[in-house]
């Protein structure tokens, strides 16, 4: 994973492109630490696929939520709940709608995993020469393995195919901790089968 490495230009076809550009530009302007995750991230680092919303992880924002909501309102965002700040404090997700009526979920990072995800993101250059911080393949696979819906399982397959240097040992080690918390230890074996043989590591910094 490299914080400053730039990937080739990626198309925003099948993605809410204007919304991605507006969100990244806005969060950069506000000086926030963040990374794009979810379907948009999967589409940018593996096989392009349709997604109708945008997910991101933010760091160090808990004590500035009111400020953030006010700043985002100035940029055209509105809450999807009657009290977005209270909802975010309860669920750790700030749920918004952007000026293009696209749903935005901003997850409030708290765990060491969240910090690692944001700070080791890759910069993906998209149309318009905008550099988007996108979670690396390893972190995305862990998040998808925790969610484990049918579309998440398929996303894992596509990420593995598109990223031959995926550090499978790191993925399995990190996810095993979550599997214990989820009380679903059998998922460890299911994920291992999806990843295939573990032929070593690409040297992720831990």
Which residues, in sequence order, are CB contacts of 177 under 8 Å at separation 6+?
Answer: none
Q: Tell me what pLDDT residue 203 has.
A: 47
162 and 86 both lie in a single domain: no
Domain endpoint, select from 102, 135, 168: 135
Q: In this structure, is residue 206 part of a structural domain? A: no
Report the range of poorest mean pLDDT among 56-65, 142-151, 196-205.
196-205
Structural domain of residue 185, as residue ranges? 136-200
Q: What is the CATH number of the domain that holds 22?
A: 3.30.460
CA distance linking residue 153 with residue 144, whole number of Å: 7
Confidence check: pLDDT of 7 > 80: no
Q: Of 86, 103, 135, which residue constitutes the final position of a domain?
A: 135
Q: What is the pLDDT of residues 113-146, one digit of tens each?
A: 999 999 999 999 887 778 999 999 999 999 999 9
Alpha helices by DSSP H, listed for 75-165, are: 84-91, 112-119, 137-147, 150-162
Q: Within a domain: residue 7? A: yes
Domain C-terminal end among 94, 120, 135: 135
């Amino acid at each position: 994973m490299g914080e400053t490495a730039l990937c080739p230009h990626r198309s925003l076809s099948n993605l809410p492109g204007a919304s991605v550009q507006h969100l990244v530009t806005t969060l950069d302007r506000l000086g926030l630490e963040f990374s794009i995750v979810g379907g948009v991230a999967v589409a940018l680092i593996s096989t392009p696929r349709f997604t109708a919303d945008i997910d991101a992880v933010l760091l160090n924002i808990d004590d500035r939520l009111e400020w953030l909501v006010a700043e985002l309102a100035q940029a055209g965002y509105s809450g999807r709940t009657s009290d977005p700040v209270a909802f975010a404090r309860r669920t750790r997700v700030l749920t918004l709608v952007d000026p293009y009526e696209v749903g935005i979920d901003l997850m409030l990072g708290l765990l060491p995993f969240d910090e690692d995800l944001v700070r080791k993101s890759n910069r993906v250059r998209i149309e318009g020469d905008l550099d988007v911080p996108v979670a690396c393949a390893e972190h995305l696979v862990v998040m998808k393995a925790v969610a484990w819906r049918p579309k998440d399982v398929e996303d894992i397959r596509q990420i593995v195919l598109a990223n031959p240097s995926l550090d499978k040992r790191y993925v399995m080690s990190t996810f095993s901790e979550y599997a214990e918390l989820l009380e679903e230890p059998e998922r460890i074996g299911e994920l291992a089968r999806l990843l295939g043989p573990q032929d070593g590591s690409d040297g992720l910094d831990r």
